[in-house]
Amino acid sequence: MKFYRRLFAICTILIFVTAILFPPVAEGISVKEEEELSREFLKVVFSQFQVIKDPIIVDYVNDVGQKIVSVLPPQPFTYHFYVIKEDSYNAFATPAGHIFVNSGLIEAMENEEELAGVIAHEIAHVSLRHISKKIGRSKKIGMATLAGVVAGVLLGSGGAAEAASAVTVGTLAAGQSVALAYSRDDESEADQIGLEYLNRAGYSSQGLLVVLNKMRSRQWFGSKQIPTYLQTHPASEARMVYIDMWLAKHEKVYANINPYPFDRTHTWLVAAYGDENATLRRFESDVKKSPENPLAHYGYGLILAKTGNRNSAIDHLRAALEKNAFDTYIISDLGRIYFLDGRYQEALNLLHSAESFAPNSPQRLFYLGRTQIETGRLKEAAVTFEKLISINAEYSEAYYFLGETYSKLGRPDYAHYYLGIYYKIDSNFKNAAFHLQKALETMNDPEKRDKIEKMLKEIGTGKEQSHKQ
């Protein structure tokens, strides 16, 4: 009897331990819990990494991502796309549809198909709910800690481990990180579904194979150079063989994609976020090799302006504009450099001239508004910034200058209101609360009063959550 009792006890313990360490896939967290987990995960990412908010880059990446999302079956989540300023090659998707691509990986790409390939693969991970299905009873360790574990898995072993360490504690959390990692089957399934998404969206599927080859070739430089993507997305050789076979079996899709939007965005990203010396040499060489290429002059102008040589920058941006007279980005950047150089009337004339064919360009509106402030056209500036935030509600700097504009117009209620929104977007809750409380004291607009009270409640919740972290 003692033997059987002992055997029963041992079996019970084994079953209990197994249930904790190897929960059944069917016990994946609910959609609501997945969204909660994603919110905690975003706190980890935004606190540890510089997420690029540049609308030129963000809008383009979102356009590519949403083009792929549009061919998906109905989804329980809204997909969001971000770019992290990191040189390492990586891309990852959080639960609930938040997809990140590192700037270094985009810089290594040569066309939109490569970007679409990576994004489609990550979308497939989300739609298949690979991470959330693995979590199961892991949620008992707490969403904040679990978010750190997931960050450690998806961000790799470099800076990611540091990011995760802030919230990942305990042996259970450490053990779970292994259980949550993508498997070979996960990668195979995400490739299969992702390739289908690409074809439906009008892409050829070749881009993902090209990107994997680029990352795989970089691995030969040594373990320290292994791209993070290959650490978090295993079985690269098997994946490349599978993708190659898939391409051979399926009818070829000849993508009809205008290369210019990718090339222009890529040029901006390299100039704005790449190494200055290397970028200077790169675009100087491009201008010499291809003097008729407007983007060569555009990139060279951008990096010259960044390094303080505005006169030469203006010359090259003018050259780019002569070759592509209706490019809103070139016009906006030339206007921006005129503004920064104190040539306000030239900036005003140029930015106004583009209104007929680019009325809703965020960058054009932003520098038009700033130029209007400097030239004393305060009422016009207020109208410009109001239009900008109606088009792009996340353009945080527009709220700051709109607040400054209303302050100069003698409207402290509106000034504090917009400054409060600016600091709230920036997660500076102390300053946000100060300005919103000031706005509430004098604001007569009932709709704005309601919004202020709602934001103050959100700020209180945000402070409480931040304190708990």
**pLDDT tens-digit readout, 114-149:** 999 999 999 999 999 887 777 754 445 455 555 555
Residue appearing with tokens 């600091």:
423
Domain that holds residue 34: 19-249
Flag whether 49 is in a domain.
Answer: yes
Handedness of CA 384, 273, 118, 148 (dihedral sign): negative
pLDDT recorded at residue 245 = 87
d(CA 105, CA 114): 10
Q: What angle do CA 160, 119, 51 make, to 5 degrees?
A: 45
75 three-state secondary structure = coil
Flag whether 423 is in a domain.
Answer: no
How are beta strands 98-102 and 80-84 bridged, if at all? parallel
How are beta strands 80-84 and 51-52 bridged, if at all? antiparallel
Flag whether 97 is in a domain.
Answer: yes
Cβ(409)–Cβ(382) below 8 Å: yes
Flag whether 374 is in a domain.
Answer: no
Helix (H) or strand (E) segment spanning residue 299 = helix 294-306
Domain tally, the chain: 1
pLDDT recorded at residue 159 = 42
In what order do the strands lie in the sheet containing 91-94? 51-52, 80-84, 98-102, 91-94
d(CA 58, CA 68): 16
Q: In the chain, which stretches have pLDDT less than 50?
A: 1-26, 137-139, 141, 157-179, 221-223, 462-469
pLDDT recorded at residue 334 = 96
Flag whether 204 is in a domain.
Answer: yes
Angle of the 236-249 helix axis to the 206-218 helix axis, nearest 10:
160
Flag whether 48 is in a domain.
Answer: yes
Flag whether 182 is in a domain.
Answer: yes
Rounded to two decimals, the pTM is 0.81
- 98 forms bridges with which residues in the sheet? 80, 94
Flag whether 112 is in a domain.
Answer: yes
